Amino acid sequence: MTSTLEFDERLIDTLRSITTIGIHNAVRGFSGLLGHKLEFGEPNVKLVPLTQIPMIVGGPENEAVGIYLRAEGDFHAQIMMILPLEKAYQLVDLLMEQPEGSTTFLGSLERSALGEVGNMTGTFFMNAVANALGREIRPTPPAVMVDMVGAILDIIVATTGGVSDHVLLIQTCFKDGSRSVLTDFWVIPDAQSLQALRQVEKK
């Protein structure tokens, strides 16, 4: 297990800087893709116990959307975006420039839009890490799941293989004019990847 002690404040600061670059580039990508400018709030990066994820996103029986992908190559990590269902609807409306409340279910188009959010954000985060480390990192295709939070969390636990009992929570707002949607990204790097990030601190 990765203990809390391995995530000191300097490492959190390093990850915060990398995350800010990654999300900034992702929002620029979204803006170009959608044809209108999106903005984002300053990312909040903190370490939380894995067991707290259900409470942060509304409880284990709350229905949610999970967008999951992995970082492979010279850096290994699990990346998951989890949104309560109503918040996922709001994000779809914001991305598709629809009046708030327009989305009431997730069809193939809506799932594709959410998958692209997870894909672009995760990919640009990985690119920022790759640039900081000077290494090659490849994202897997995103998987979009609609299920109870507890069931989505079971997938995270199964894929981590006991690597960590804590995860990095990255919170940011996607903004379009007066509308904003708070999103939660969870990042679980393996021990070797954490050690590589520590080398960035020393540069």
Per-residue pLDDT reduced to its tens digit, 141-188: 888 999 999 898 887 777 665 556 778 888 888 888 888 888 888 888
Can you tell me the distance from the alpha carbon of 2 to that of 106, in angstroms, rounded to the nearest whole number? 36
Q: Which two tokens stand for residue 176?
A: 């379009």
Cα Rg of the chain (Å, integer): 16
Label residue 74 exposed, middle or buried (CB < 10 Å: 0-12, 13-18, 19+): middle
* Domains annotated on the chain, with CATH: 4-201 (3.40.1550.10)
Per-residue pLDDT reduced to its tens digit, 102-154: 999 999 999 998 998 888 888 888 888 888 888 899 889 888 999 999 898 88
105-108 CB contacts, 8 Å cutoff, 24+ apart: 106/65, 106/146
